[in-house]
Amino acid sequence: MKELSTPEYWNNRYTENNDTWTLNNANPVLVQAVEHKLITPPGSVLAAGCGKGDDSLFLSKQGFEVTAVDFSANAIEASSSLFKRENANVNLVQTDLFRLNEEFPSRFDYLYEYVTLCAVEPARVEEMVFNFAAALKPGGLFIADLFPVDGRKGGPPFSIDLKEFVTMTSKYLKLEHYSRLIKSIKPRKGNEVLMIFRKEK
């Protein structure tokens, strides 16, 4: 599964139009979180694994200062086109999410991920969570819309064990919000969970 950690694997998925995770609209769970003021502008947001940029665009339009990150050149190209078309002020960066602790130490008020952790080799999920935590300012929030949580075998997407995820993430961040009452798209309804963690120091 080492190929999952290479840009080439994900570039090929985009080239083959096999980016099954792409919604082509803002994630309704994220929209709901903003509407319910679980996260509030202004503030700096890192969109980790931004893909084609729809969520980053939404956050920018809500008044957040957005940095969108992906390591796939094809994702970056698609995001760049979207932001230019919509005249959106988004800082777009092509980099490895496993290097956030080096590139963006304690930089952001919020970090948002959706269908990124489930694309990582399970043995490296904690490493990515560590990097997410490292990129947050003290008091910053990690917004994790976790999908899938159905115990499926294999992947990607790999199923996320919620109990294990909370135990692991709690080494770095404190859980503040947990909800299954979220506006998932129909194919994912009942199979994703919104969690929000805070970096205490």
How many structural domains are present in the chain? 1
Q: What is the CATH number of the domain that holds 78?
A: 3.40.50.150
Q: pLDDT tens digits for 20-36?
A: 999 999 999 999 999 99
The answer to the question of residue 104 being in a domain is yes
Position 32 scores a pLDDT of 98
Mean pLDDT, the chain, whole residue set: 96
Q: Confidence class of residue 1 from pLDDT cuts 50, 70 and 90?
A: low
The per-residue DSSP string of the chain comes to: -GGGGSHHHHHHHHHTT--TT--SS--HHHHHHHHTTSS-SSSEEEEET-TTSHHHHHHHHTT-EEEEEES-HHHHHHHHHHHHHTT--EEEEE--GGGHHHHSTT-EEEEEEESSGGGS-GGGHHHHHHHHHHHEEEEEEEEEEE---S--SS-SSPP--HHHHHHHHTTTSEEEEEES-----GGGTTS-EEEEEE---
| Local confidence band at 7 (pLDDT 50, 70, 90 cut-offs) | confident
- State the pairing for strand pair 90-94/65-70: parallel
Answer whether residue 186 is part of any domain: yes
Host domain of residue 77: 2-17+44-198
In a domain, 37, yes or no: no
Residues 86-138 pLDDT 10s: 999 999 999 999 999 999 999 999 999 999 999 999 999 999 999 999 999 99
- Sheet with strand 174-179: strands edge to edge: 90-94, 65-70, 44-48, 108-114, 136-146, 193-198, 174-179
Structure confidence by residue, pLDDT tens digits, 124-180: 999 999 999 999 999 999 999 999 999 999 999 999 999 999 999 999 999 999 999
Q: Is residue 72 part of a domain?
A: yes
- Residue 87 inside a domain? The answer is yes
In a domain, 39, yes or no: no
d(CA 77, CA 17): 14
**Residue 153: what pLDDT?**
95
Confidence of residue 201 (pLDDT cuts 50, 70, 90): confident
Number of Cα atoms under 13 Å in the Cβ half of residue 197: 27
pLDDT tens-digit series, residues 32-87 = 999 999 999 999 999 999 999 999 999 999 999 999 999 999 999 999 999 999 99
